[in-house]
Structure 1
Amino acid sequence: MEKKHNLKSSLVGLWQRHTWLIIGLFGVVLTFIGGAGLRTTTIPWLLSADAPFHLDYAWQVYKGVLPAAMGGIQAPVAALPNHPVHLAAQHPPLYYAILAPLAGPFMDNGDWPMATALGRLLSMGLGLLSALALAWVAWIVGGKYRRILAIAAPAIAITFVPFAGVAAAVYNDTLVVFTSTVALGLAALIIYRGPRPSYVGVLTVVLLLGMASKVSFVSAFFVAVLSLIGAFVLHGKDTFSKNTGKGIGCGALVSLVVIGGIGWFYYLHNFQASGSLISAQPSSLPPMREYRPFLQVIISQKLWELVPFGLFRRSFHEIGGYTLNQWISISVFVLGMLGSIAWFVKEKAWHIFHKTRRLHLLVATMFTAHFGIVFAQQMVYATGYGSINFRYILPAWFLMGLVLAFGVSVWQFLRGFGAVLVAIAGWVAVINSTVFALSSRTNLPTEHGWVPLLQSGAEQNGFAPVIVPILLLAIVLGLTLIAIALWYATSPRNIKAEASSKRLPDRKGST
């Protein structure tokens, strides 16, 4: 009874201290379920290009084997494409090991629609965890604005169409977004509080899970290990050289644990088959894409439009050479960046370079470095026979939601409505993108409007048409809760109270 009483008291205390934060995050959850659920229920089961290969990978893991690159799809499902090359074989197996017990039995029985639905549900769950992880990161780095950013950052980031898309498809990208977000959050925590053994242990596990998710996680791995070394230098009590040596030793130990835990896959499954750690396809295999030299990649308009114009992808209604979604994207990007820069100048935030603020500078540098490395990875991958694809920079894109949210939400006179307007624009773009996909890639009737079109898509997937208005209502209710919570969080009294409360201290104990 005493334990139950203590638990109840803790929950009541949590609600009293963080009422509007909890309400705001509940709004984020509602909007995500509504928006991602809309794509999950209306997009045809096999419309996602590589999803059948990811689904087959899970089935093969369910059978106790890893797919071979030249084995193609092996699942006994006639609806899946007959392709000689397995396009997902190069990925490490963690996502598929999670999906296998869910989808495997249905694949065995030929019920691939149910297997696909469960795969999409798993991706939605990982997407939701990613949103909550971003809220946690915002709480760590947000200072006196942490309560605002913990609501605004995930509210905006989950509307990025590439993220909403993979969170409603059978792809492993949501897992790498989740592990990248948690890894960088832990790295920031270690920079602020020092390399405590418990933090380092949890970070090691997350880095192992990330490298077992997708090779592109290596950017977060590299930045997190460097941040760990930096934390030893900043928080150590010995000389600079001794602190550096301890940091390098700890970083090396963490790296060895990760390599020992998942390195076998990259060497035995990929390298021995192809001579490359990142591919399972033999080098003798004829290329499936046109060769693209590095110079052609770096001058490609498509590459440099990925970030400012790609947050919401393409849609209908082309204006001046770009679609409505692309104009929404560039508008959100510019407003968020300009808002952040303007705040930096207004608050004379260059004082961050003072000795007592160097931990904040290091955290900001860590996030910037992560984005730069991820973008460089995209350029390297596109060189040769690779491609330029929004999914390859998704982990950095998602974390960028923190910067964009800061720029549109910290201005007190807006009372949080800047972030709400961006979130509304984002969900309009998600719905627009979904309608665009159904109109351009299916034979569903379009003459009755976008709501009947979405209902036709849901009905074709086996859902009752009423699911569409229910999910749309969830988006509206979620946005309403977010607006109310941000209005409260941005009140002068609450910002002042947050500024005087105990936050993550730096080495000198200042905030």
Structure 2
Amino acid sequence: MRLTIDAVRALLRHPVGLCVAAAVSLATVQLLAVAPFTAGDEVAHLDYAWQVWHGQLPVFEDGLRLRPEHAWIPPVQWTSQHPPLFYLLLAPVVGPLADAGHAVGAMYAARALGALVAGLFVLVTAWAARGVVRDGSRLPVVAAFVAACSAVVAQTAGTVLNDLFAAMWTTALLGLAVRVARRGLTWPLFAGLVATATACALARTSSLVVALVGLAGAALAGLAHRQVARTAALTGAVAAAVAAAAGWFYARNVRLTGTVTGGHPDWAAENQGRQARSLLQVAIDPVTWDRLPNLWWWGPVLPREAGTALWLVPVVIAVVVHRRAAGRALRRLLGTATERTRGDVRRSALLDALPVGVPVAACLVAVAMQLVYAMPGGGIYPRYLLPAALALVLAVSAGLTHRAGPTAWGWARWWTPRVVLPAWTAVTVLDLLTWLGTGRGGSAGAAMIRPPDTPLGYPPLTGAAWAAAVVAIALVAAACAAVLAVVRAERADAAA
């Protein structure tokens, strides 16, 4: 017990540790503030874990076998297409509690595990970011804070959903991939890529697609380092590991549904009123871009535009500030050297570009997947962007920590971390408080909610949620102060 207390104290003395604690506490607010069995997705995920505990896998047409009292039961088992790794984690907790008649306790226990995943996600994000930026940069600490303050991270973690669990693995894989560009394809990185790729394949189908982008980047880096044999071995090892661990499940999806993904768009169109749209219609719809990247909006009290500003303004600042460096890197990559040295120059330029290019490419692929998913009427939820959110988190972090020079025009001179970061944090806290204070608990980043005419069987734990919110806000404020101190130290080191 003493060791545990000492470990917690040591964690809270570190800025990233404070960010981890803040993320867990914000997810705890979500898990307490939202009434049990509010979301149909949540009940279905819980049923999946319970069936795994009993040695079975769910089938779409069979519906839910775990049917808690007062819960809104979906008409089909619409989470059955997901791979089982997340549910293997939940099963030892959910199964015994549900079998003992404590379905509500099982749900809260599953939510609590999700809150711990939020902390792991923040930790992995900081580690992955460290591989992207230059040595000595404090930006990974800021990235940990930005990820911890994400409303969608908290909402997804505090609800029984598998998205953040999958995002943790894809972020870890991207962190390994960018390190290959920095160090070459070492054997530890080789083993890590095989393990995380396998976990991605067993976590969520979309996470496997994002993982393939990271693996492609790692392969390019390996070839640029002239490690042809080892890169070929990595390709074979990943293919063999994924096929051995997850191939059976995707074959099952094909057998049951005719598709690898295991979706049922025809049923959704017939029973949920979904309308098909063209790719162009989805892409030009303002709602798409208002919702998908909106990772910092608790909703639905403050206008969605407030959440949009929390990510869009820092990203625009980051793009404007770094546009010239990006242009130089691109021109160098395309090659302007002599014919004799062009190969070496391009190889070096590729290795310099990959640490940033891999997360950006993963984010673009995730967006493209969401556009395609929305074409037959699929929902657009920001939690679907979490597996590839590393690039967005880093861009927001870079924008928040930019310091305007003395020649900046007008109000832009006030854009300094000591002003912007606390103001940005204050808006996220205000958003949380209005969401909690109006009693409109829900998840802007979650999916199927119960129909409005369905009676609520269990009340939310509002008092406990407010107590958790006080702790969460204190931790967020402490983390903000710690991150500011780190940023100031970096400025001082640069000036010395």
What range is the shorter-chain TM-score in?
0.7 to 0.9
Structure 1 440/399 Cα, relative in aligned 2: closer, same or farther at 3 Å? closer
Where in structure 2 are the equivalents of 1:96-175 lying within 5 Å?
A: 96-144=87-135, 146=137, 148-175=138-165
Taking the aligned partners of 2:190 and 2:35, their CA distance within structure 1 comes to 43
Shift of 1:337: 1.7
The corresponding residue for 1:429 is: 431
Q: Which amino acid aligns with 2:425?
A: A
The answer on whether the counterparts of 1:134 and 1:181 sit within 8 Å (CA) in structure 2 is yes
The answer on whether the counterparts of 2:28 and 2:465 sit within 8 Å (CA) in structure 1 is no
How far does the alpha carbon of each residue in 1:144-166 deviate from its partner, in whole angstroms, 9 at most, with x for none?
A: 563x2222112112322222211
The answer on whether the counterparts of 2:401 and 2:417 sit within 8 Å (CA) in structure 1 is yes
Taking the aligned partners of 2:469 and 2:355, their CA distance within structure 1 comes to 37
Q: Is it true that 1:88 corresponds to 2:72 in the alignment?
A: no
Give the SS at the match of 1:77: coil
The answer on whether the counterparts of 1:417 and 1:487 sit within 8 Å (CA) in structure 2 is no
Number of residue-to-residue matches in the alignment: 452
Structure 1 281/293 Cα, relative in aligned 2: closer, same or farther at 3 Å? closer
Taking the aligned partners of 1:385 and 1:348, their CA distance within structure 2 comes to 36
The corresponding residue for 1:176 is: 166
Taking the aligned partners of 1:138 and 1:212, their CA distance within structure 2 comes to 24
Q: Is it true that 1:68 corresponds to 2:52 in the alignment?
A: no
Structure 1 412/302 Cα, relative in aligned 2: closer, same or farther at 3 Å? closer
Q: Is it true that 1:304 corresponds to 2:302 in the alignment?
A: no
The corresponding residue for 1:448 is: none
More divergent stretch after superposition (132-141 vs 246-255): 246-255
| TM-score, with length taken from structure 1 | 0.79
Q: Is it true that 1:214 corresponds to 2:214 in the alignment?
A: no
Taking the aligned partners of 2:295 and 2:188, their CA distance within structure 1 comes to 38
Taking the aligned partners of 2:12 and 2:392, their CA distance within structure 1 comes to 21
Taking the aligned partners of 2:293 and 2:265, their CA distance within structure 1 comes to 36
The answer on whether the counterparts of 1:21 and 1:485 sit within 8 Å (CA) in structure 2 is no
Give the SS at the match of 1:386: coil
The answer on whether the counterparts of 1:415 and 1:491 sit within 8 Å (CA) in structure 2 is no
Of residues 24, 27, 44, the one that matches 2:35 is 44
Structure 1 221/481 Cα, relative in aligned 2: closer, same or farther at 3 Å? closer
Shift of 1:230: 0.6
Give the SS at the match of 1:479: helix
Q: Is it true that 1:265 corresponds to 2:249 in the alignment?
A: yes
- Flag structure 2 segments of 5+ consecutive residues without an equivalent: 1-5, 333-344, 406-415, 444-455
Shift of 1:210: 1.0
The answer on whether the counterparts of 1:156 and 1:405 sit within 8 Å (CA) in structure 2 is yes
The answer on whether the counterparts of 1:156 and 1:426 sit within 8 Å (CA) in structure 2 is no
More divergent stretch after superposition (112-121 vs 225-234): 225-234
Percentage identity across paired residues of the two chains: 22
Give the SS at the match of 1:50: helix
Structure 1 69/186 Cα, relative in aligned 2: closer, same or farther at 3 Å? same
Q: Is it true that 1:337 corresponds to 2:337 in the alignment?
A: no
Shift of 1:312: 1.1
Shift of 1:374: 0.4
Taking the aligned partners of 2:400 and 2:128, their CA distance within structure 1 comes to 18
Shift of 1:283: 6.0
Structure 1 23/419 Cα, relative in aligned 2: closer, same or farther at 3 Å? same
Q: Is it true that 1:496 corresponds to 2:480 in the alignment?
A: no
Shift of 1:284: 7.4
Q: Which amino acid aligns with 2:256?
A: A
| TM-score, with length taken from structure 2 | 0.82
- Flag structure 1 segments of 5+ consecutive residues without an equivalent: 1-10, 238-242, 318-322, 442-456, 500-511
Give the SS at the match of 1:259: helix
Q: Which amino acid aligns with 2:255?
A: Q
Q: Which amino acid aligns with 1:55?
A: L
* Cα root mean square deviation, aligned: 3.3
